[in-house]
Structure 1
């Protein structure tokens, strides 16, 4: 659920960022570059992730805090240079969540049920993201960019769930290859 809330907090961003940027006067090429910056940063994070030494639960908490900070910033009218830096934070808000959760699954889900575990993770994430998308439309209609404050709370709550479970998550009862 923690991961689903953090990843689902991206719903308003995915739906409304391009619209908001266009309304701010950015042309199509600039908007495309902003999206590409986030993707490139995420690819770099994934490439470097085998070197990470922090506990997977700690990575997810860092990701949640990064997402919350990112959404608070996105609620502001940012100049292009700052917005570009905020876009690089996609590596942390989305990518680091994925790396941390996959690390948690590797250590806590027996290999013989890993596919089922990933299915549950994806289903839960999809349900939360779908509901957040519907709610985002309704909230954006009234609050505009203020929707990002709601997304910040959502990400922070996801991080809180992981933070509260971190002691339990720091134990490594299973290895994926062990079969349980």
Structure 2
């Protein structure tokens, strides 16, 4: 009887071995294949022609292993599936890329909308960003500094007047002191402050 039980256990083990081997070979990409690779600050992992390539200084190179970024973001180079450290999963579309810091940049409004779980009209376009700042000249800086100095001077005077008013009100007199002159000076300083840019 013991031999029969041992033989049955041996047969079960033989039958189960291929299934166990298949399971061990099918380790998820997020566990075994995501190796940290040598990164530079400007590296990008771009979905290009159906797979993810590394773009560095304008040059692209193919990748033969999945990528795990320092912040924990995982990139599957064959499918373009990106798993963020939060557990959120998104799939890169053609031209989308992941930056070295784990940020995802979308090539089209449609791929950005799909990542959010919404849709965008076929004719949607990204809004144009225009830097509105102008070149600052030395003359502009001098004017700004003069205005700031004048503002600080007026604020200093206002603080002195407010301290005088507090001092008068906290003397403990039974009759409230007349602070109308101080109030008028404070109002005058407020008007001057509004006039300074």
Q: What range describes the TM-score normalised by the shorter chain of this pair? A: under 0.3
- Greater length-normalized contact order (CA 8 Å, ≥ 6 residues apart): 1
Structure with max Cα Rg? 2
Scaled by the length of structure 1, the TM-score of the pair is 0.22
